[in-house]
Amino acid sequence: MLEKIKRLREEKGLTQCELSQRMGNKSSNHIYMLEKGMRTNLSLMIACELAKAFDITLDELVKDTEFDLRKECGKGDRL
């Protein structure tokens, strides 16, 4: 997930400061710590703020990351 946050930020052409402003003025240090793996506990609230800042769904944000629960569920299961 950490690499994905940085990749999405760079794809959108945002600095860490600009991303933090889009997230409701979170500290740019918070973004730095997430990207560097110094903060690994990603809360649902932060994940939602990130998805909104990137203009994507929460599902798109977590897809193919360690937070993607679809890997744990069967085909017929719903989340």
d(CA 76, CA 26): 38
CATH fold of 2-71 reads 434 Repressor (Amino-terminal Domain) (1.10.260)
pLDDT of residue 15: 95
19-32 pLDDT, tens per residue?
Answer: 999 998 778 888 89
What pLDDT band is residue 76 in, cutting at 50, 70 and 90? low
- Identify whether the C-beta of residue 28 lies closer than 8 Å to the C-beta of residue 20: yes
Q: pTM of this prediction?
A: 0.79
The residue whose two tokens read 């069967």 is 74
Q: Report domain extents, the chain.
A: 2-71
* Residue 47 pLDDT > 60: yes
* Residue 7 pLDDT > 90: yes
Amino acid type, 72: E
* Residue 74 pLDDT > 60: no
3-state secondary structure of 1: coil
